[in-house]
Amino acid sequence: MTSPQDQSLFARIESRLFDDHRQNSTADATGTHHPHDEHRQQRNVADLMVQCLVQEGVEVIFGIPGEENIPFIEALERDGRIRFVVTRHEQGAGFMALTYAHLTGKPGVCLATLGPGALNLTLPVACANASNTPLVALCAQGNIDRIHKESHQIIDLVSVFRPITRWTNMILSPAAVTETMRKGFSLAQRKRPAATCIILPEDIAEQPAPADAEPLSRAMQVHTVPTPADIESAADIIAKAQHPIILAGNGVSRANADYQLRVLSEQLNAPVATTFEGKGVFSDRHRNALGVVGFMRHDYENFAFDDADLIIAIGFSIQQFDPVKINPRNDKKIIHINTFVEDTDAHYTTTLNIIADIDATLTQLIDALRERSVTFDNAESDIRKLLTSEFESCKDDDAFPMKPQRVVYDTRKALSDSDVALVDTGALKMWMARLYPTYLPNTCIIDNSLSTMGWTLPGAIGASLARHGRPILAVMGDGSFMMNVQEIETAVRLGCHIVILVWVDRAYGLIKWKMELHNGRHDDVDFTNPDFVKLAESFGAHGHLVTSADDLKPAIESAMMADGGVHIIACPVDYRENIKLTDKLGELELNS
């Protein structure tokens, strides 16, 4: 409790501060010269950075203001051409930028202040880097006269971000701005897209920009075509194969090469499997579609790889899943077609690397194989029948909580072919990746490189902006949902139309599943949840609790067809099906 003397002191201080503020305000209002007016009217480094961002085609930045990035925020407002989206956490800002980039193909941009703000960006930045998504992170820093020592909120951000980006740099001179900005965006968009980070100290941001400095022009993308020798070598290897199989990764969607992929498959009559991240690049309606690889060693698709003597890997990177699952004896020839050389792996020893544009490579390879009349006599695989049977196995099952198979089936039936579903990490990812039929690229987006939890809620906001307000479905477990739940406020404030389907089991379901596989029991994975309906309503969103198996599909349809708004659907799920699935697949034998 304060003494009378303390109260008097506080009153005097408050009065003095108010008087000083009133005098400054009066002076400004009457046109009296302010000592900083001249500086404010000059173009500073922050202004020049914003001009560079406009030159790079940036339309939106996601982030949180902080003391040290105030000059940059002010510059954004002065310019007015870039939309700034205020988020509730820097991690949310990064995932919004990442998903925006994934769907547009343009670098996503996120902003944080120094120290703790910048550190909160590290997860989405690392995720973008791992999944080959172009992203540019902008971070503030303290004045350069104190970054060499221990100082309030100072972290060596260059050292922090360098291992998780393609390139990180701190601007230490106004003269370095235009080159740094151009390099940051150029490296993010190379043939292997990645994350970059640009750090701007506060005092540098406020320095005058060089009078003659102008944003550097964006370089035209150069298409790299394969050599005739590469195409001939690939055609020779394919012609000599007995059982080729195509493995398609997310590089196919980046290259917009899904049409060429389908033509190649039909030309050869070769089966196609995709990675989790490649879902949709080959329609699951096609007779040659095998579904996804990456779940476990004995899933249906793996039997097709067991029989294959040649893998044609297109747009694939080994970070998406371990090649040992499809080439355990390292006895298969591999043709690697991508814009970059893959990392070294004992079970991914390539016979031929074609490092060129994927669409151009496939177009020329199709022509070469057509001239040779190379095709294979493959009947429609039993694998498709098994997947379809499992997908439909619980469509009429009324059990509640709902079986995962019924949840996936009803989700698919509630969405159109072109609707976008973002699938979070957890047990639900395994069910959605395996069973959710996907017909178009970038309509079922899964992170299987860093496999980050909690990305889809903020990701849905980025997707909503990228798709100009079309409804977006985010499929999450209750563990993931609570990790970035604060971004519901951002979604409501922005007027996004997103639907969040929460699979409720009150546990970290995937880890529980793996613990039970490991030793038949689980520990320390269970938790409780809030009332999801009331939680949604407290944010100004719409909440719905599924109370029967027949309730889910109409709930999703209603939310997707609504006139906008944020909709949270909580659906209790019975994960006892997890162990039943792995027991079945572990014992599975398939006639080749």
**CATH code, domain with 354:** 3.40.50.1220
Amino acid code (one letter) for 562: A
Is residue 413 a part of any domain in this protein?
yes
Note whether 420 and 525 are same-domain residues: yes
**Closest-CA residue to 446 (of 432, 458, 460):** 432
- Tracing tokens 């520990």 back to the chain, one arrives at 523
**Number of domains, the chain:** 3
H runs (alpha helix) in 224-354? 228-239, 251-254, 258-268, 300-307
Is residue 25 a part of any domain in this protein?
no
Is residue 30 a part of any domain in this protein?
no
Neighbours of 431 (CB within 10 A): 25
Kind and range of the H or E element at 464?
helix 456-466
Q: What is the C-alpha to C-alpha distance for residues 273 and 291, in angstroms, rounded to an integer?
A: 5
Note whether 199 and 236 are same-domain residues: no
What's the domain range around 147?
43-206
For helices 509-519 and 577-587, give the axis angle rounded to 10 degrees.
50
Q: Which one of 348, 381, 414 terminates a domain?
A: 381
pLDDT for 580: 82
pLDDT for 526: 87
Note whether 103 and 184 are same-domain residues: yes
Q: Which one of 139, 171, 206 terminates a domain?
A: 206
Q: What is the C-alpha to C-alpha distance for residues 344 and 336, in angstroms, rounded to an integer?
A: 12
pLDDT for 297: 63
Neighbours of 359 (CB within 10 A): 17
Radius of gyration of the chain (CA): 27
Amino acid code (one letter) for 430: M
pTM, two decimal places: 0.90
Q: What tokens does 416 get?
A: 């159109």
- The residues facing 472 across adjacent strands are 420, 498
φ and ψ at residue 135, rounded to 5 degrees: -145, 140
Note whether 495 and 557 are same-domain residues: yes
Note whether 137 and 170 are same-domain residues: yes
Pair 140, 66: CB distance under 8 Å: yes
Is residue 212 a part of any domain in this protein?
no
The two beta strands, 566-572 and 498-504, are parallel
- Who's near 333: CB < 8 A, 6+ residues apart? 237, 241, 309, 310, 311, 351
Is residue 8 a part of any domain in this protein?
no
Is residue 5 a part of any domain in this protein?
no
Note whether 575 and 427 are same-domain residues: yes
Note whether 188 and 297 are same-domain residues: no
Note whether 401 and 375 are same-domain residues: no
Q: What tokens does 493 get?
A: 């404030």
Q: What tokens does 571 get?
A: 């659906």
Q: Which one of 206, 237, 266 terminates a domain?
A: 206
Q: What tokens does 581 get?
A: 């699935």
Note whether 372 and 411 are same-domain residues: no
- Who's near 583: CB < 8 A, 6+ residues apart? none
pLDDT for 588: 57
Pair 401, 572: CB distance under 8 Å: yes
Q: What is the C-alpha to C-alpha distance for residues 298 and 560, in angstroms, rounded to an integer?
A: 36
Angstrom distances, CA of residue 487 to CA of 11, 281, 566: 39, 30, 11
- Who's near 433: CB < 8 A, 6+ residues apart? 276, 279, 292, 294, 295, 423, 446, 448
- Taken in order 45, 47, 53, 59, the sign of the CA dihedral is positive
Pair 273, 387: CB distance under 8 Å: no
Is residue 93 a part of any domain in this protein?
yes
Mean per-residue pLDDT pooled into runs of 10, the chain (592 residues):
46 44 41 42 92 98 96 97 98 98 97 97 97 97 87 90 98 97 96 96 96 90 89 97 96 96 97 95 96 76 87 94 89 96 90 96 97 86 88 96 97 98 94 96 95 96 96 97 97 98 90 79 86 98 98 98 97 89 68 41
361-372 exposure pattern, b = at least 16 Cβ within 10 A, e = fewer? bbbbbbebbeee
Output the domain CATH number for residue 543: 3.40.50.970
pLDDT for 589: 55
Note whether 432 and 543 are same-domain residues: yes
Note whether 235 and 324 are same-domain residues: yes
DSSP at 256: T
Three-state secondary structure call for residue 314? strand
Is residue 22 a part of any domain in this protein?
no
Note whether 174 and 269 are same-domain residues: no
Angstrom distances, CA of residue 221 to CA of 53, 190, 218: 18, 9, 9
